[in-house]
Structure 1
Amino acid sequence: MKILLAEDNPMWLKVLETNTTAWGFQPVLATDGQEAIEEMGSQDAPRIAVLDWQMPETDGVEVCRRIKGDADRPYTYVVLLTCRDSKEDIVAGLDAGADDYLTKPVDLDVLKLRLNAARRIVEAIPPKGWSRPRVDGYEVKQVLGRGAFATVWEAVHVASGLPRALKILRVDLATEKVFERFAREIEVMKELDHPYLAKIYDSRIDNTIGYYSMDLIRGGTLYQYIREHQSSAVEIIRMVAQVCEGLQHAHDRGIVHRDMKLSNVMVTEEGVPKVVDFGLGKSMFVAPQEDPNQTLDGSVIGTPLFMSPEQARGEVHRIDQRSDIYSTAIILYLLLLKKHPHDISPQDRQQTIHAIASGPVCPPSEVKQNFNPELEKIVLKALHPSLEHRYQRADAFATDLYDFIQRRTKRGGKPANGESRDSGKPT
Structure 2
Amino acid sequence: MPRNEVSGLGCIILCNLRRHLPHAAGIMDTPTPSSDPFHGLNPADLMAAAAMPTDGGADTLPLTQRDLPTLAEIAAAFPDLEIQDLIGHGGMSAVFRARQPRLDRMVALKVLPKSLAATPGFAERFTREGRVLARLSHPNIVTVHDFGESGGFCFLVMEYVDGVNLRQAMRAGRFTPEQALTIIPVMCEALQYAHSQGVLHRDIKPENILLDAKGRVKIADFGIAKILDENGDGGMMLTQSGAKLGTAPYMAPEQIEKPGSVDHRADIYSLGVVFYEMLTGELPLGRFAAPSEKSAVNGNMDEVVFRALAKDRAMRQQSAGEFKTQIEGIASMPPQMRRSLALRFSSFEYKSKRTLLGWPLLHITSGIDPTTGRKRTARGFFAFGDRAVGVVAFGGYARGLFACGGMAVGVCALGGMSIGLISWGGFALALLLAYGGLSVGFLSAGGLALGWDAVGGFAAGVHAYGGQVYALVSGMGGQVHAPHVMRNLIEAPPLLLWLVRFTNQTGLVASWIWLPMMIPSVLMPWWARRQLEFEAQGGAQRPTAWHERPSRVLWLLPAAILMFLALLWMTIHWVHAGQSGLTAQTFIASAIEIVGCVLAALSLPLWLRLVPMNSFYGVRLPSTFLSDERWYDVNAVFGRHLFGWSLAVIAAGIAGFYQLPRHQDAYSWAAITLKLVAVAASVVSTLVWMHRHPVGRPAIKPHRLIRNIEMILPALVLGYFIKAFICASYSIPHGNEPGVAKGSRWLASRLNTGFAAGDLIAYAHESGQTWLARVVAVEPKGLQLKRGSSPEKFFMPWDKIIGKMLFSYYSPNGPTQP
TM-score range, shorter chain: 0.5 to 0.7
For 1:227 and 1:293, locate their aligned partners in 2 and report how far apart those are by CA, in whole Å.
35
Matching residue of 2:82: 139
Using a 3 Å threshold, how does the CA distance of structure 1 residues 130 and 281 change in structure 2: closer, same or farther?
A: same
Q: What displacement does 1:417 show?
A: 7.9
Note if contact 2:71-2:83 (Cα within 8 Å) is conserved in structure 1. Answer: no
1:88-129 Cα deviation digits (max 9, x unpaired): xxxxxxxxxxxxxxxxxxxxxxxxxxxxxxx86x61223564
Which residue among 388, 391, 395 is the counterpart of 2:314? 388
Q: What displacement does 1:184 show?
A: 1.2
Once the two structures are superposed, the pairs formed by residues 27-426 of structure 1 within 5 Å of their partners are: 123-127=64-68, 129-130=70-71, 133-134=74-75, 135-174=78-117, 175-205=119-149, 208-228=152-172, 231-285=175-229, 286-288=232-234, 299-317=243-261, 319-343=262-286, 362-365=288-291, 368=294, 371-409=297-335, 411=337, 413=339
Using a 3 Å threshold, how does the CA distance of structure 1 residues 308 and 412 change in structure 2: closer, same or farther?
A: closer
SS at match of 1:340: coil
For 2:128 and 2:238, locate their aligned partners in 1 and report how far apart those are by CA, in whole Å.
19
**Amino acid of the residue matched to residue 305 of structure 2?**
V
Using a 3 Å threshold, how does the CA distance of structure 1 residues 159 and 392 change in structure 2: closer, same or farther?
A: same
1:369-414 Cα deviation digits (max 9, x unpaired): 7652111111111111111110111011112222221115362759
Decide which structure has the larger Cα Rg and report it: 2
Using a 3 Å threshold, how does the CA distance of structure 1 residues 412 and 300 change in structure 2: closer, same or farther?
A: closer
For 1:281 and 1:237, locate their aligned partners in 2 and report how far apart those are by CA, in whole Å.
26
RMSD: 3.0
Q: Whose strand proportion is higher, 1 or 2?
A: 2
For 1:371 and 1:403, locate their aligned partners in 2 and report how far apart those are by CA, in whole Å.
13
Note if contact 1:140-1:156 (Cα within 8 Å) is conserved in structure 2. Answer: yes
Q: What displacement does 1:364 show?
A: 2.0
Note if contact 1:132-1:140 (Cα within 8 Å) is conserved in structure 2. Answer: no
Q: What displacement does 1:156 show?
A: 1.2
Work out which structure has the larger RCO, using CA pairs closer than 8 Å and 6 or more positions apart in sequence: 1
For 2:238 and 2:147, locate their aligned partners in 1 and report how far apart those are by CA, in whole Å.
30
Matching residue of 1:111: none
Q: What displacement does 1:221 show?
A: 0.8
Q: What displacement does 1:245 show?
A: 0.6
Note if contact 1:201-1:213 (Cα within 8 Å) is conserved in structure 2. Answer: yes
For 2:272 and 2:299, locate their aligned partners in 1 and report how far apart those are by CA, in whole Å.
16
Note if contact 2:136-2:194 (Cα within 8 Å) is conserved in structure 1. Answer: yes
Using a 3 Å threshold, how does the CA distance of structure 1 residues 172 and 417 change in structure 2: closer, same or farther?
A: farther
**Amino acid of the residue matched to residue 320 of structure 2?**
A
Note if contact 1:196-1:274 (Cα within 8 Å) is conserved in structure 2. Answer: yes
Note if contact 2:125-2:238 (Cα within 8 Å) is conserved in structure 1. Answer: no
Using a 3 Å threshold, how does the CA distance of structure 1 residues 411 and 224 change in structure 2: closer, same or farther?
A: same
Note if contact 2:106-2:160 (Cα within 8 Å) is conserved in structure 1. Answer: yes
**Amino acid of the residue matched to residue 324 of structure 1?**
D
**Amino acid of the residue matched to residue 215 of structure 2?**
G
Using a 3 Å threshold, how does the CA distance of structure 1 residues 417 and 385 change in structure 2: closer, same or farther?
A: farther
Note if contact 2:292-2:302 (Cα within 8 Å) is conserved in structure 1. Answer: no
Using a 3 Å threshold, how does the CA distance of structure 1 residues 417 and 191 change in structure 2: closer, same or farther?
A: farther
Number of equivalent positions: 278
**Amino acid of the residue matched to residue 208 of structure 2?**
N
For 1:333 and 1:128, locate their aligned partners in 2 and report how far apart those are by CA, in whole Å.
40
Note if contact 1:333-1:341 (Cα within 8 Å) is conserved in structure 2. Answer: yes
Note if contact 2:192-2:319 (Cα within 8 Å) is conserved in structure 1. Answer: yes
1:16-75 Cα deviation digits (max 9, x unpaired): xxxxxxxxxxxxxxxxxxxxxxxxxxxxxxxxxxxxxxxxxxxxxxxxxxxxxxxxxxxx
Note if contact 1:363-1:380 (Cα within 8 Å) is conserved in structure 2. Answer: no
Using a 3 Å threshold, how does the CA distance of structure 1 residues 229 and 291 change in structure 2: closer, same or farther?
A: closer
For 2:283 and 2:307, locate their aligned partners in 1 and report how far apart those are by CA, in whole Å.
16
Note if contact 2:177-2:297 (Cα within 8 Å) is conserved in structure 1. Answer: no
Using a 3 Å threshold, how does the CA distance of structure 1 residues 194 and 128 change in structure 2: closer, same or farther?
A: closer
For 2:173 and 2:138, locate their aligned partners in 1 and report how far apart those are by CA, in whole Å.
24
Q: Structure 2 length as normaliser, TM-score? A: 0.32
Note if contact 1:184-1:281 (Cα within 8 Å) is conserved in structure 2. Answer: no
Note if contact 2:292-2:299 (Cα within 8 Å) is conserved in structure 1. Answer: no
SS at match of 1:211: strand
1:320-375 Cα deviation digits (max 9, x unpaired): 111001011111111221221123xxxxxxxxxxxxxxxxx634258527652111
Q: What displacement does 1:292 show?
A: 12
Unaligned residue ranges in structure 1 (runs of 5+) = 1-118, 344-360, 419-427
Q: What displacement does 1:265 show?
A: 1.0
Note if contact 1:291-1:299 (Cα within 8 Å) is conserved in structure 2. Answer: no
For 1:210 and 1:293, locate their aligned partners in 2 and report how far apart those are by CA, in whole Å.
20
For 2:176 and 2:72, locate their aligned partners in 1 and report how far apart those are by CA, in whole Å.
40
